[in-house]
Amino acid sequence: MKTREELRAIRERAKAALAVRDSEGGLRVVVAMGTCGIAAGAREIMGALLDELSSRGLSDVSVTQTGCRGLCDREPMVEVLIPGRPGVSYCRLTPQAMRRIVADHLVNGQVVNEYAIGAGTEA
């Protein structure tokens, strides 16, 4: 960082990233960040989620985190909550799967059954 403009650009990027986490929009994504989730890769899932939301300009999605959900063998997990619809829990995620969930579920309203609990992922 050599100029005030560079500092301002860094500040604006940081503010945009924080705005995603604090937005009051109807869509909400909850990332399970208990120790089991973190050990399974939840930090990478959170990073992929925030990056994908930012690259798509989706600022009306609230991103929060929770502790262990009690399904440690299915971590990393996220829950997608859309007003007026049942919540959908996704498990055994990878960063690529998280990007697909953003594209298919958050943007297009289509549940990604491949990773959804209750859609053949219990095995």
pLDDT tens, 25-74? 588 999 999 999 999 999 999 999 999 999 998 888 999 999 888 888 89
What letter would DSSP give residue 103?
Answer: I
Alpha helices in 1-123 (DSSP H): 4-22, 35-40, 42-56, 95-101
Q: How far is CA 9 from the centre of its chain?
A: 24
Number of H helices, E strands in the chain: 4, 4
Which pLDDT value is given to residue 19? 54
Sorted by where each begins, the domain ranges of the chain are 4-107
Question: Is the bond into 76 cis (omega within 30 degrees of 0)?
Answer: yes
Q: How confident is the model at residue 110 (pLDDT cuts 50, 70, 90)?
A: very high
In this structure, which CATH number among 3.40.30.10, 3.40.1080.10, 3.30.1300.30, 1.10.3720.10 belongs to the domain 4-107? 3.40.30.10
Residue of 85, 86, 87, 107 whose CA lies nearest to 77:
87
For the chain, the first-to-last Cα distance in angstroms comes to 50
Q: Cβ contacts of residue 99 below 8 Å, gap of 6+?
A: 48, 52
Report the predicted TM-score, pTM, of the whole model to 2 decimal places.
Answer: 0.75
d(CA 101, CA 108) in angstroms, rounded, equals 9
- The type of residue at 57 is G
